[in-house]
Amino acid sequence: MTEIQKEIMAIAQEECAEVVQAISKCFRFGFDSEHNGITNHQRLTEEIGDLLCMINLLMEKNVIDEIQTQKASYNKRLKLEKWSNIFDDEKGVH
């Protein structure tokens, strides 16, 4: 593992923590609650964007394999379609 790969992983780890914090704020105070002029929804969107940047860098710098990552993402979606209620409205279940 190179120093660049280590740095990308460390920053990705920090971004994951910031996403967790932003989601917690949304649950506790709602999407529309503001802090320093930014809503929790805006903050969550920014933090997810930061994390997506780091995920892309993880793939670009060969820390993780892009094809395997896409396969894992697809497989997770299949599991969610089967075991969660996330997609019930698409199945016509209300």
Find residue 38's DSSP bridge partners.
35
Does 94 have pLDDT greater than 60? no
Residue 22 burial by Cβ neighbours in a 10 Å radius (0-12, 13-18, 19+): buried
Question: Considering the entire predicted model, what is its pTM?
Answer: 0.89
What pLDDT is stored for residue 91 in this prediction? 65
What pLDDT is stored for residue 92 in this prediction? 61
What is the mean pLDDT of the segment spanning 67-91? 94
Domains of the chain by residue range: 1-63, 65-94
Rounded Cα distance between 26 and 23, Å, is 5
What pLDDT is stored for residue 1 in this prediction? 92
pLDDT digits (tens, 9 = 90+) for 31-63: 999 999 999 999 999 999 999 999 999 999 999
Residue 30: what residue type? G
